[in-house]
Amino acid sequence: MKKLILLSMVIFSGLLFGQNIEPVQKIVQQINQTKDFKIKTVPYSYFMDQSEVTDNGIELKGFYKNGKLRKMEHFVGLSAWNIITEYFFSENGKLVFVHSKKYQTLDENGYLKQPQLLSESRYYYMKDQLIKSVGKFDDEKTDYLKESKNLINHLKNYKD
């Protein structure tokens, strides 16, 4: 009986913590290989009108294929660093992957000629649930599901 309980605990913990991210990786790879996206860019002026102001700008790009949003790129330029976050979506519009990078652009001697990568993180989602995160987490408190919905609204509300 003890062996059966131990075995079932091992199997359950393996299922719980060993989520298979391969389907997400395939979706991301397919999106990254896609050509001829229709790209909608939301410029910094729009964000300023929304009272979202940074030292070095904000830009949002939505990448559409066959009328469906498949990817977003969000750039936020702050005084000492830039944050670039990519969001990837399944065919049915669900967030499946987030890739965030933070670059240092300013040090004690002034602006850097070549920005330096400070942190990089990857978040894998399935059915609106975070299943795995990998990397150096400088942005632990960010709710990327909520943030992606907010950014999608900006894409919908912005008129060229």
Is the separation of the CB atoms in 137 and 121 below 8 Å? yes
How high is the pLDDT of residue 13? Answer: 37
Does position 61 have pLDDT exceeding 50, yes or no? Answer: yes
Q: What is the mean pLDDT of residues 79-88?
A: 94
Cα angle 105-137-103, degrees, rounded to a multiple of 5: 10
pLDDT band at 141 (very low <50, low <70, confident <90, very high): confident
- pLDDT beyond 60 at 23: yes
User: Taking a C-beta distance cutoff of 8 angstroms, is the pair 31, 59 a contact?
Assistant: no
Give the pLDDT band (50/70/90) at residue 139.
Answer: low
pLDDT band at 15 (very low <50, low <70, confident <90, very high): very low
CA dihedral 17→23→25→31, nearest 10 degrees, is: -150
Quick check: 3 pLDDT over 80? no
Tell me which of 40-44, 50-54, 75-79, 84-88 is least confident. 50-54
Q: Indicate the pLDDT class of residue 10, thresholds 50, 70 and 90.
A: very low
Q: Which of 70, 61, 73 is nearest to 99 (CA)?
A: 73
The contacts of residue 87 (CB under 8 Å, 6+ apart) are 71, 72, 73, 74, 95, 97, 98, 144, 148, 151
Report d(CA 139, CA 68) in Å as an integer: 28
C-alpha span between 120 and 99 (Å, rounded): 7
Q: In the predicted model, what is the mean pLDDT of residues 130-135?
A: 92
Confidence (pLDDT) at 140? 66
How far is the C-alpha of 94 from the C-alpha of 85, rounded, in Å? 17
- Answer yes or no: is pLDDT of 88 > 70: yes
pLDDT band at 65 (very low <50, low <70, confident <90, very high): very high
Band the pLDDT of 18: cuts 50, 70, 90.
low
